[in-house]
Amino acid sequence: MLVSRSPRASVSPYVMDVLAQVHARNPAEPEFHQAVEEVLESVDLVMDRRPDLVKARILERVVEPERVIMFRVPWQDDRGEVHVNRGFRIQMNSALGPYKGGLRFHRSVTLGVLKFLAFEQVFKNSLTTLAMGGGKGGSDFDPHGRSDNEVMRFCQSFMTELMRHVGPDTDVPAGDIGVGGREIGYLFGQYKRLRNEFTGVLTGKGLGWGGSLIRPEATGYGAVYFTAEMLATKNQSLEGKVCLVSGSGNVAQYTIEKLIALGAKAVTVSDSDGHIYDEAGIDREKLAFLMELKNVRRGRVRELSDRFKGCVFTPVDSSLGSNPLWTHRADCAFPSATQNEILEKDAANLVSGGVTAVAEGANMPCHPHAVRVLLDAGVLYAPGKAANAGGVATSGLEMAQNSARMSWPREQVDRELHTIMKSIHRACRETSAAYGVPGNYVHGANIAGFLKVADSMMDQGLV
Ligand code: NDP
């Protein structure tokens, strides 16, 4: 069901018709429907002014992936038992450049989840101002509890098929949930071996073999930079702000690192078992422990409460219907785990707990009903395609360095990242004002991202 985020009571019959087609042609893909509804509701504000886009059926084309690849991934575990997973790559839109977007390895991965992520990626990549189309891929493989050798064998089998469909000028995957530096290394090694090519086919590579400084940090840092820009519009800064962070992976870790650097205090982290609340704040020592725990030992956040007095662990309780993480008093929230982790009740809890800014480190972590609650309460709300675009933007910078066979210094990449996040923020603000919804970052991001893609599709003819 469409939940309006705009002052308009409803969307036009034309957009309703396109949405009905999306539902009919893509049954049982609720996350994809949700992502399309959000973008099309914003883009509806454009269509009155652009009959050329209606005539060329740009909306009908943009919701249809250019190509969907689905394949079998057989592999053997350490005991010699055979497993069969499913691999995917969604090549959604190449109007702006080679397909670009991460690979997700998680048991919840389905075609519909990856189509939602690929669709979001198209407009996110457009916002970065870099020449990147949108794609996404992954597998329902669950790396939790698997040995390094098992993960390597899985990655090799996955890449043995994927390598036919990707390449530095075609499609350049990166990491996402369950795919970090270790997995990118195994995937790159197999690609190189099969194609006999050392090219920038993946981003998020190790620093010694083509990776970019700041790429691991980029998504989290970028979300914090974006939030600082939002707060500045209210003459505020992050200094002294209490922040809720969910997740404990790549995005969460570097969000916390940058919050500490800017004088804010992150008081929570989580994984799928539960969350840690630490009133004193996660300082550099606790963050270093968390990074070692998650990136090396691959343990659970619960262990923070064994190691540090003051870290209180609360296990997940699905009977509650809401997540206690979002009930703690705070100024800002950075959902950085997964989609639909903030439901309507959680958003109400955030508002009553004093939160005035929410920046999505994860993709689509706020359910549409939650977004409505936040916007109605006047919360500064940054959708993922704007707030977490720093990761793919820095992937774009990694591609540029690979093409030039150069490595830029840390300060240069960080400066470029910061500039890009500021420019995305400006584009969202200016576009939302130009379309009569000032301060609405959802409409601003969707419309600004869409227009560049749509105009490029128009230029490139009916393909
Ligand atoms: P990681 O795999 O590094 O970490 C994911 C974290 O989220 C883990 O703490 C994981 O806990 C938790 N999590 C995942 N699924 C669930 C779930 N269903 N319920 C509760 N907790 C869950 O992934 P990233 O940090 O890279 O990605 C996090 C989010 O950020 C995703 O939405 C991703 O799409 C988005 N993103 C990532 C970018 C990047 O550069 N990495 C770029 C832009 C967006 P557990 O270990 O228990 O599974």
Sheet with 265-266: strands ordered across: 265-266, 242-245, 332-334, 357-359, 380-382
Pair 370, 253 in one domain: yes
pLDDT at 6: 45
Pair 379, 245 in one domain: yes
Q: How confident is the model at residue 2 (pLDDT cuts 50, 70, 90)?
A: low
Pair 57, 99 in one domain: no
Pair 160, 186 in one domain: yes
With the most atoms of ligand 1 within 8 angstroms of its CB, the residue from 151, 338, 339 to mutate is: 338
Pair 150, 246 in one domain: no
Percent residues over pLDDT 90 in the chain: 98
With the most atoms of ligand 1 within 8 angstroms of its CB, the residue from 224, 250, 295, 420 to mutate is: 250
Pair 279, 350 in one domain: yes
Give the rounded distance of the alpha carbon of 319 from its chain centre.
28
Pair 188, 229 in one domain: no
Q: Is the separation of the CB atoms in 356 and 387 below 8 Å?
A: no
Residue 423 domain flag: no
Domain boundary among the residues 370, 387, 404 is at 387
Tell me the C-alpha distance between 291 and 276, whole Å.
15
Total domains in the chain come to 3
pLDDT at 10: 77
Q: Clarify whether 294 is annotated catalytic.
A: no
Active-site hit among 136, 205, 241, 385: 136
Pair 379, 235 in one domain: yes
Residue whose CA is at the smallest distance from ligand 1 atom 30: 362
Residue whose CA is at the smallest distance from ligand 1 atom 35: 362
pLDDT at 8: 47
* Domain extent at residue 48: 13-62
- pLDDT at residue 355 greater than cutoff 80: yes
Pair 21, 71 in one domain: no
Pair 98, 24 in one domain: no
Express each pLDDT in 405-447 by its tens digit.
999 999 999 999 999 999 999 999 999 999 999 999 999 999 9
Residue 403 domain flag: no
Residue 430 domain flag: no
The ligand 1 site (C-beta within 6 Å) comprises 108, 175-178, 180, 219, 247-251, 271-272, 336-338, 361-363, 388, 391
Which tokens hold the place of 460? 């490139």
Mean pLDDT of the chain: 97
Pair 270, 244 in one domain: yes
Pair 315, 332 in one domain: yes
Residue 443 domain flag: no
Residue 182 domain flag: yes
Tell me the C-alpha distance between 93 and 111, whole Å.
16
